[in-house]
Structure 1
Amino acid sequence: MNGDMLIYDETEETKTRYIGFFGEHKRYDLAVTQTDRFYGKMLVIDIQSGRSAIIGPDDLEEEGYLAHAFELTEDQAAELHELLSQIIF
């Protein structure tokens, strides 16, 4: 790899929580990673779809954020919001 193109290369200890649950509308398999990299926000990865988002408490309150980030219906996003509200604060 050409060193002139590399922007950063860092290693960091992280804490990852794996959560699987059935909602009324969908099954969710998530990896939620805590890191110092994103200013206190968490990296949330939907393992099934491969979609991810950096989420903090402010993002949870933003209308339509989860639906857009994970390509969910409003009902599915509401289920995910309920779970993440207990984890991200």
Structure 2
Amino acid sequence: MGSADLMKTAGYLREQRKAGSDALSLAKTAQVGMGSRFGSVAFIAVFRMAFGVPLDVLQRAQAWHGFDFGGYMISDAEFTELLRPWISAHSE
């Protein structure tokens, strides 16, 4: 996946956030939209581009059980709360 594709996805996620999507919806949108190109690196890149989430927060968020990247898993509530400062606070 090239940087142009990542930027396009990031832009779409910003639009969806403005339309009222929460962190879970945005993650699922990215996951479905990117299909087989979606992985932990793509998630981190897109959410960093779209919302300016710090890298350490995204590294923790990639453990969301909905991604099934393996290893330790966090719940929907933990994922949402972790990303809330960057998703909710910027929902212009």
Bigger fraction of residues in strand: 1
Same fold (TM over 0.5): no
The structure with more radius of gyration: 1
TM-score w.r.t. the length of structure 1 is 0.31
Bigger fraction of residues in helix: 2
